[in-house]
Structure 1
Amino acid sequence: MADIGDKAQAIAIGPRIVASGGFDLLYREGMTLIEEVASYLDGHGRADSRILPRDASFLYATESMRLTTRLMQLASWLLLQRAVNEGEITPENARSEKEKVKFSATPSERGGPGYEHLPEVLREFIVKGDRLFDKVMQFDTLERGTMTIGDTGTANGVVDQLARLKAAFGRAD
């Protein structure tokens, strides 16, 4: 903070959190999931898909394509953020590149005809992919500094802590 006469400036903690060890865990989780899904789809998944009823077979192709697309989008984000953290590119360059990665929306409801016939392994990978997507979106929001007091859906409590600090020091934005 500056002198008492100067306007206090907030410290951007989002980029610091993203650059911390929390990102390393997210990166490892993401890359591990990508490898596991690729291995499954290239191996046991092919065999699993061949024995499905026709409707479920079409759904398998659709869901595996959605999952693959989503994971490639997440991999792009993770690799860009890692490059920033390692000083290979600037945060501004990464933001510009991240704008080119358009994340697919997560379907609001999973299921439908034939979904229950999909291999359980694929359904578990879909759930893990959705969870990873949510985590990356939280990190992305922090990195951009766009998370505001009152945002909902955050599992990390940072927003609550910031609200408590502002309340304790009597600052209102």
Structure 2
Amino acid sequence: MSEPVRHDATTIKLAERRIFSASFKPLYNEGMGLVEQTAEYLDGEGRAAAKTLSRLAATLYAAESMRLTTRLMQIASWLLLQRAANSGEMTRDQVAAEKAKVRLDTASAQNDVAGWDELPQAFKALVDRSLSLQGLVRRMDDEIYGNGAMPAQPSRANPVSDQISLLNTAFGRG
């Protein structure tokens, strides 16, 4: 296991220490658990609930569902990269290079937008949890890799292909 990078004799990056230690597992489990819970909800209870919404709320639900799944895929990609570094499957430099493809800035609709109050409470709770987790991961990313670690990304021709490539790399298949 690698030691945290020291910037001077007294500064230790606490987020980096967390990522490169056994205390990373609860964060990883939380993130992957949220991905799984969200997928189950959207494929089951959420699908049924969406059919009962007004046109406005249904449109908002569809858009927010896409933002939610995008946000969670980005978080999962980041977590997988950190796990690969933690286990020695990838070097920190490799992780930093692949991490440049990960965006931790997926926004959400404001809760005062028209139709938000109609959305199912369980769905809104998943959105809130994902935003909270994204905020935590983003702060950790900033601390570990620096504030300039998330430059604005240009539009990409195929973001799904980029995610598949990133996941393949994290699992050592790429």
Sort the TM-score into its range (normalised by shorter chain).
0.7 to 0.9
Q: How many residues align?
A: 140
Structure index of larger Rg: 1
Map 1:3-152 to 2 at 5 A: 9-14=9-14, 15-107=16-108, 109-144=110-145
- Helix, strand or coil: the match of 1:100? coil
Q: TM-score, normalised by structure 2?
A: 0.74
Alpha-carbon displacement from aligned partner over 1:114-155 (angstroms, at most 9, x marks no partner):
000001110000000001001111221232255xxxxxxxxx
Question: What residue identity is the alignment partner of 1:13?
Answer: K
Question: What residue identity is the alignment partner of 1:96?
Answer: A
Could you tell me whether the CA contact under 8 Å between 2:78 and 2:102 is conserved in 1? yes
Alpha-carbon displacement from aligned partner over 1:67-116 (angstroms, at most 9, x marks no partner):
00000000000000000000000011001101111233434833310000
Unaligned runs of 5+ residues in structure 1 are 1-7, 147-173
Could you tell me whether the CA contact under 8 Å between 1:34 and 1:71 is conserved in 2? yes
- Helix, strand or coil: the match of 1:112? coil
CA distance in 2 between counterparts of 1:129 and 1:11 reads 30
1:31 to partner: Cα distance: 0.5
Q: TM-score, normalised by structure 1?
A: 0.74
Question: What residue identity is the alignment partner of 1:85?
Answer: N
CA distance in 2 between counterparts of 1:108 and 1:120 reads 15
CA distance in 1 between counterparts of 2:82 and 2:24 reads 9
CA distance in 1 between counterparts of 2:123 and 2:108 reads 16
Unaligned runs of 5+ residues in structure 2 are 1-7, 148-174
Could you tell me whether the CA contact under 8 Å between 1:18 and 1:142 is conserved in 2? no
Moved more, 58-67 or 95-104: 95-104
Could you tell me whether the CA contact under 8 Å between 1:74 and 1:133 is conserved in 2? yes
Alpha-carbon displacement from aligned partner over 1:24-46 (angstroms, at most 9, x marks no partner):
11111000000000000011111
- Over the matched positions of the two proteins, sequence identity in percent amounts to 42
Q: Which has the higher contact order (CA 8 A, sep 6+)?
A: 1
